[in-house]
Amino acid sequence: MIPAREALERLREGNLRFAANVRSSDAFVSHTRRVELVAGQQPFAIILGCSDSRVPAEIVFDQGLGDLFVIRVAGNIVAPSQVGSVEFSAVRYSTRLVVVLGHSQCGAILATIEELLTPTDSHSHNVRAIVDRIRPSVAGLFATDLRKDSDALVKEAVRANIRASVDHLRHGSQVLEEMIQKEGLLVVGAEYSLETGVVEFFET
């Protein structure tokens, strides 16, 4: 088992390599590594990230086959199935780091802001379920001066949504809450910049 802080440092180092366009040879999938993993896995970090095609966790953290337990959903929202997936890896594989990975210019965030500005019935029931989960963390921002600056509003909305997902994982699961208190589980938020390739960790 890799302690949470060590796992976090491994992700930081991997992202620095990615941002500098220097790939680790260990990150490439090899036949030997694939065969080794048939017997089991031991991911050192759980990543709850957005489904955006520009933010594949294994690549932006320069990790290889078997290193990360990745859960992806539009807007990096937390619903029961995502919580269950995090619990599964934390308990079964003793993974001690959970990262909620959002990113700049998130389409789900933009859709939620658009919905708040101009409500519409054009979304399907399923897409609306995503927007409705993001809405509470974003709605309050419209009561601030951010409403006058669309770029700043989007940036802060992305971070507010990440924090909401982190809070949900920390306090919305008895299993995870007990593991945080007793077993060294760490749940942190992070934002990937599409512009620079750098991941900024916060709430650590």
User: What CATH architecture is 4-202?
Assistant: 3-Layer(aba) Sandwich (3.40)
pLDDT digits (tens, 9 = 90+) for 7-37: 999 999 999 999 999 887 665 566 788 888 8
pLDDT digits (tens, 9 = 90+) for 28-79: 566 788 888 899 899 999 999 999 999 999 999 999 999 999 999 999 999 9
Model confidence, pTM? 0.93
Domain boundaries, the chain: 4-202
Per-residue confidence at 185, pLDDT binned at 50, 70, 90? very high
Q: Are 37 and 64 in contact (CB under 8 A)?
A: no
